[in-house]
Amino acid sequence: MLKTYFNVSKPFFTPCVSILKQLSSEGPIRIKDMNEKKPFQKPKYDGRSKKRQWEERRSDKGKSITSEPKKAKVDDVKAESENPVEKIKRRKFAILLGYSGVNYFGMQRNPYTKTIEEDLFKALHKAKFINDLCYDQVQNMQFQRAARTDKGVSAVRQVVSIKLPENMDIEQVNKELPDVIRLFDCKRVTKGFNSKSQCSGRTYMYMLPTVAFADHDKEVEQESFRLDADKLNRINELLKHFVGTKNFHNYTSKKKPNDPSAKRYIMSFVCETPIIRNNVEFAILKVHGQSFMMHQIRKWLDYC
């Protein structure tokens, strides 16, 4: 019987053992084809500025044909020297203001509409406390209002937060504002201050003639009608049902009953003692709450 012996050297035997172990643990080994093309992968951006493709195709690799830098125009040089760019330090301020909303379409700025914020920004721009960029994009000065008012609604005290220069002077702004808008005071606040999110409560007052509470089946005159104490107490008892944390989705629009934002916290809602103006009796309904939804108070008054 013929026996054949092979002399296997140790350097050859060691890799064979590692291959057998890999076969037993991981399964078959995929042999890489040297001619196989790798799929194209876009290199990661390393943060450095790169030349555009048309620059790579040029013979000069994107460099100018002439080595001399482009000369600036004489007008541009004069404009830069006359109007140098100055970096102005801006700080966050809280501004207390009041306004009459008559002939205005609300507080919030809207294009091509007369609003309180539009006149405020114009006055700040004329007084040179904001630049053109901040006037066009109020987000650049971190502007925020504590509350919004609708068309024709006035505000005795309204607070806005805004970043302005340190030399802010409300008297200069008031000179540029119309007579129906006044700034009362401004205070430095922290840079994280937000007049909307950090407002703990808002108070609204609605004034209406007491004849609105008259019985619907009786004919009364506005000048002669007076609200008695018994009916005033009944009105206040009715308004107490709105106090507390409740779901008010029925008193707004585009809110579903299961929407968590439909829950609002109302602290007080009262009808104050009536007053007489020009022989007509008026009542003031005063509501104080943490926040309100669109048309919420108006729908309350319709319900009453």
Instruction: Fill in the amino acid letter for 264.
Output: R
The Cα–Cα gap between 144 and 284 comes to: 29
Task: Output the six-digit token pair for 167.
Answer: 């030399």
The Cα–Cα gap between 160 and 181 comes to: 14
Instruction: Fill in the amino acid letter for 188.
Output: R
In order of 48, 250, 254, the CA distances from 242 in angstroms are 61, 12, 20
116: Cβ contacts below 8 Å, ≥ 6 apart: 99, 101, 104, 106, 107, 149, 181
β-bridge mates for residue 249, sequence order = none
- Compute and round to an integer the Cα radius of gyration of the chain: 37
The helix/strand count (H/E) of the chain reads as 8, 9
**Residue 204 in marked binding region:** yes
The Cα–Cα gap between 110 and 87 comes to: 30
Which of 94, 58, 51 shows the shortest CA–CA distance to 198? 94
Task: Output the six-digit token pair for 63.
Answer: 């460099």
- Taking the CB of residue 63, how many other CB atoms lie within 10 A of it? 10
Furthest CA-CA distance within the chain: 138
Sign of CA dihedral 290, 296, 297, 303: negative
Q: Which of 150, 179, 215, 302 is catalytic?
A: 150
Is the distance from CB of 128 to CB of 167 less than 8 angstroms? Answer: no
Q: Look up 150 and say whether it is catalytic.
A: yes
The DSSP letter of residue 112 is: T
Residues that constitute the known binding site for substrate:
204
Residues with catalytic function: 150
Mark the binding-site residues, compressed into ranges: 204
